[in-house]
Amino acid sequence: MGLKCQVIASIMDKLAPRKFAEEWDNVGLLVGDGSKDVSKILVALDATFEVVKEAIDKKVDMIVTHHPLIFKPIKNVKADNPVGSLLIQLIKNDISLYAAHTSFDIAPNGMNDILCNVLGIYDREVLDVTYSEGYKKIAVYVPQGYEEIVKNAMCNAGAGFIGNYSNSTFQTQGIGTYKPLEGTNPFIGEIGKIEKVEEVKIETVVPQKYLEKVINAMLNVHPYEEVAYDVYPLENLKEEYGLGRIGTISETTLKELALQVKAKLKINNLRVVGDPNKKIKKVAVCGGSGASLIHKAVSRGADVLITADIGYHDAVEAQHLGLSLIDAGHFATENIAVRFIAEYIIDETQKQGNEIEVLVSESQKDPFMYL
């Protein structure tokens, strides 16, 4: 039994939330009908001619890639150019296409964290923050006896998380006063008479994204007709997401680290900039093209940046700045995530009680060869 294409797209959106994608990027469902049934998926780094042929041969319903096939705006869909020809093949064969690009690079547990896991880089942080999410403090006044139900409803809707702690709240007791006016239906008190009620003020934090959900959950269980609550912006708490990671490794030399990277990424060649005997402890990482992060890596105190697509001038600049570089290739630094994505889709679809066949592309190879 299959799942709707849109359901697979939502499963991928959970792994690579589209809000993280860079403005210039193009992620999400790029080709296909969300209501179509999908029972076989092929995961690859790119939708190349080889990958699309593999998908057609293996009777796949959907392809999930990292790089988006439609990237620059297209003016036509014609068979005489590569993108047009691939789009025609996909549509003719009723194959949907989803891409998780910078959304996946930036996401926690996405591309860069997978690369760090493979390379054994720990205690890591985001290298270049591209997206941050604010928090609010919410305070609500409830009559005594209703604290638990209101707190639980709010925490279950996403409030109360601070670091790895959940259900974080604070409560104080006090006296609430109010006078119900004509036309009201007060839970406690009489119309026209000032009422004093023993109330509890519950305070908790909520990520901006869950604010509406938390307020609705609170209003649903609160006994009052008119609920008094306040929402304050928090300046001291925010979650930061971004490109690349920086972390530490057991101290080694640049040469030794380069050999480890070769072994872990299963590659025969890579390029290194810097003194092979330099001591390395702090490592910056960015899968794919990460030369634009050289300055960031320097300012964060990295000894080396492991990335790909380093140009000559990038290498010279890094030398001037005292930053070592390991260019392990775009394909090798990113293709390691393909298997992870396939396993993730299998796990998530199984959780929903569905058996979907998810294949890892066998046809896509690094376009570069070394002679």
Query: Residues in the site for Zn ion, rule: CB under 5 A?
Result: 288, 334
Is the Cβ–Cβ distance between 132 and 241 less than 8 Å?
Answer: yes
Annotated ligand binding at 105? The verdict is yes
Amino acid at 136: K
Q: Shortest distance, CB of residue 227 to Zn ion, whole angstroms? A: 49
Q: Which residue is nearest to Zn ion (CB)?
A: 288
Rg for the chain, CA atoms, rounded: 26
Residue (127 or 159) nearer to Zn ion, CB: 127
Side-chain half-sphere exposure of 178, counting CA atoms within 13 A: 21
3-state SS class at 349: helix
Annotated ligand binding at 101? The verdict is no
Q: Which of 38, 35, 29, 33 is nearest to 349 (CA)?
A: 38
Residue (2 or 287) nearer to Zn ion, CB: 287
Q: Shortest distance, CB of residue 309 to Zn ion, whole angstroms? A: 9
- 10 Å Cβ neighbour count for 132? 11
Residue (296 or 330) nearer to Zn ion, CB: 330
Please state, in angstroms and rounded to a whole number, the distance separating the CA atoms of residues 48 and 65: 10
Is the Cβ–Cβ distance between 202 and 146 less than 8 Å?
Answer: no
Amino acid at 60: V
Annotated ligand binding at 67? The verdict is yes
DSSP 180: P
Residue (16 or 157) nearer to Zn ion, CB: 16
Residue (171 or 363) nearer to Zn ion, CB: 363
Annotated ligand binding at 66? The verdict is yes
Residue (16 or 150) nearer to Zn ion, CB: 16
CA 66, distance to chain mean position in Å, is 13
232, β-bridge pairs: 137
Annotated ligand binding at 94? The verdict is no
Q: Which of 264, 356, 371, 336 is nearest to 113 (CA)?
A: 336
Calculated CA dihedral for residues 32, 35, 36, 39, nearest 10 degrees:
110
Q: Shortest distance, CB of residue 111 to Zn ion, whole angstroms? A: 8
Q: Shortest distance, CB of residue 331 to Zn ion, whole angstroms? A: 9
Q: Shortest distance, CB of residue 163 to Zn ion, whole angstroms? A: 32
- 10 Å Cβ neighbour count for 83? 16
Residue (128 or 334) nearer to Zn ion, CB: 334
Q: Shortest distance, CB of residue 288 to Zn ion, whole angstroms? A: 3
Q: Shortest distance, CB of residue 310 to Zn ion, whole angstroms? A: 14
DSSP 208: G
Residue (200 or 308) nearer to Zn ion, CB: 308
Calculated CA dihedral for residues 270, 274, 280, 284, nearest 10 degrees:
-60
Q: Shortest distance, CB of residue 99 to Zn ion, whole angstroms? A: 11
How, if at all, do strands 3-4 and 37-38 pair? antiparallel
What are the tokens at 325?
A: 């570089």
Binding-site members for a divalent metal cation are: 66-67, 105, 330, 334
Binding-site members are: 66-67, 105, 330, 334
